[in-house]
Amino acid sequence: MFDKVLIANRGEVALRVMRACREMGIKTVAVYSTADADTLPVRYADEAVCIGPAPAGKSYLVMSNVIAAAKTTGAQAIHPGYGFLSENAEFARACADNDLVWIGPAPECIERMGDKSRARDTMKACGVPTVPGSDGTIESVEEARAFAESVGWPVLIKASAGGGGKGMREVHDPADLEAQFTAAKTEAQAAFGNDDVYLEKLVLRPRHVEIQVLADAFGNFAALCERDCSIQRRHQKLLEEAPSPALDEVTRTAMCEAARRAVEAVGYRSAGTIEFLLDSDNKFYFMEMNTRVQVEHPVTEMITGVDIIKEQLRIAAGEKMLSASRERFVPNGHAIEFRINAEDPDQEFRPCPGTIERLVVPGGPGVRIESYLEQGSHISPYYDSLIAKLIVWGSDRDEAIARGRRALSEFVIEGPGIKTTIPFHQRVLDIETFKAGNACTDFIETEMGE
């Protein structure tokens, strides 16, 4: 096992990784921008190195600075967390070129699964169900129109190098195709430096269900049940739960087997997630693979008892994962994760940076908090607005919902100008469609309005 690991991230995920390392006796190195100099993860780490000014493009995304910090401190490995450089194949290769272990999959896997068009072709070849889509990227509006006419409207334009809903546009009316095609390519270029797009038949009112996977170098594979991530705004997840209230055991087994085929097809070694769309007939289709740990991983940990970060570390160190002896997992209870963002839900989720003057964190049975917040913490305008994750566990879904309602009522984050998504989540829990377990990806638009 490693003696020292550098965490190439910030905020709650950096602290999450550091805590796993400390329990395993591994020393940690934090990297930070000048805006994060006095944050909890920087103080928690055994060592800390400033890698640049506040903008991420001048600090957390500067590969040479992160590599230099690792070399200077004697770290043996780099954990990227999620976001920033976590799915950057070039960075993974730079780690190897500098004799540093990349705590994640091989760069070839990142490239193969990160390009959504290529990933879909790979899944089709290994028998994983896929949504009818274009053969490779679409270069022109005329080509896009021909595809749409062949499979039928509506269609979905997706950036090949995309993620987080960037470069993605639904087209219901043929008259809108040209404008949406241009907008998707423009947004993809700005977000990823790559304007390639492809098209898929749009599955109407689907659920977003994903399988958490682990695989090591000894041929061991584990599917850690599923998560339901259907509560979204503009393709950005806001609330996740595990297991999915929509899956029966037959569908769960089939989805886990499809995830196994996906992992084996690309020789994947690490933690990852296979994401599916589930239609109203319980048919599922491959959507994408995330080649990293995800924001919502705690709900899976709560129903399986597996520490996914520790398993990542073991796999990267060339050890056998502890989950190897439990290939088939059965959900234990129910967990829900509420993403607490510094955003105003009543103002189209406008970001609300500021300094926290009052912080009260919920506790009690079945409550877990993932956050870097302290009283006096400054919520920076430079980074993602996620400031905390509230995870609750119950013996069944009803208890998890009741526990979530109680914990949200205890959670206080106050300061000048600061609004959070806590009231939004409280409203979600009171909507009958959610309580009945029937939420689809259009839940916010159909049940709440924006």
What would the pLDDT profile of 33-44 be if each residue is shown by its tens digit? 999 999 999 999
Are 431 and 287 in the same domain? yes
Active-site choice (10, 169, 252, 292): 292
The residues with which 228 forms a beta bridge, in sequence order, are: 209, 241
Are 157 and 291 in the same domain? no
Final residue of a structural domain among 152, 180, 201: 201
Q: pTM of the predicted model, to two decimals?
A: 0.89
Mean pLDDT on 389-401: 98
Query: What's residue 389's pLDDT?
Result: 98
Mean pLDDT on 270-292: 94
Query: In which band, very low, low, confident or very high, does the pLDDT at 165 lie, cut at 50, 70 and 90?
Result: confident
What would the pLDDT profile of 303-354 be if each residue is shown by its tens digit? 999 999 999 999 999 999 998 766 668 899 999 999 999 999 999 999 999 9
Are 172 and 310 in the same domain? no
* Phi, psi for 106 (deg, rounded to 5): -60, 145
Query: In which band, very low, low, confident or very high, does the pLDDT at 118 lie, cut at 50, 70 and 90?
Result: confident
Q: What is the CATH number of the domain that holds 179?
A: 3.30.1490.20
Query: What's residue 450's pLDDT?
Result: 56
Final residue of a structural domain among 157, 181, 201: 201
Query: In which band, very low, low, confident or very high, does the pLDDT at 280 lie, cut at 50, 70 and 90?
Result: confident
Total number of domains in the chain: 3
> What DSSP line would sit under 161-201, residue for residue?
T--TTTT-EEE-SGGGHHHHHHHHHHHHHHHHS---EEEEE
Are 321 and 383 in the same domain? yes
Are 211 and 236 in the same domain? yes
Is there a domain that residue 168 lies in? Answer: yes
Is there a domain that residue 243 lies in? Answer: yes
Is there a domain that residue 125 lies in? Answer: no
Are 77 and 182 in the same domain? no
Q: Report the 3 state secondary structure along 109-160.
A: HHHHHHCHHHHHHHHHHCCCCECCECCCCECCHHHHHHHHHHHCCCEEEEEC
Query: What's residue 150's pLDDT?
Result: 93
Are 444 and 341 in the same domain? yes
Q: What is the CATH number of the domain that holds 283?
A: 3.30.470.20
Are 194 and 211 in the same domain? no
Put residue 337 in one of left, alpha, beta given phi > 0 → left and psi -120 to 50 → alpha. Answer: beta
Is there a domain that residue 119 lies in? Answer: no
Looking at residue 52, what DSSP letter applies?
E
Are 246 and 321 in the same domain? yes
Mean pLDDT on 69-83: 97
Range of the domain at 172: 141-201
Are 213 and 195 in the same domain? no
Query: What's residue 176's pLDDT?
Result: 96
Are 185 and 265 in the same domain? no
> What DSSP line would sit under 323-372, residue for residue?
GGG--B----SEEEEEEEESEEGGGTTEE--EE-SEEE---STTEEEEE-
Are 288 and 432 in the same domain? yes
Q: Give yes or no for a contact between 225 and 242, defined as CB atoms under 8 angstroms apart.
A: yes
Q: What is the CATH number of the domain that holds 77?
A: 3.40.50.20
Is there a domain that residue 124 lies in? Answer: no
Is 118 one of the annotated active-site residues of the chain? no
Is there a domain that residue 121 lies in? Answer: no
Query: What's residue 161's pLDDT?
Result: 83
CA–CA separation, 336 and 298 (whole Å): 9
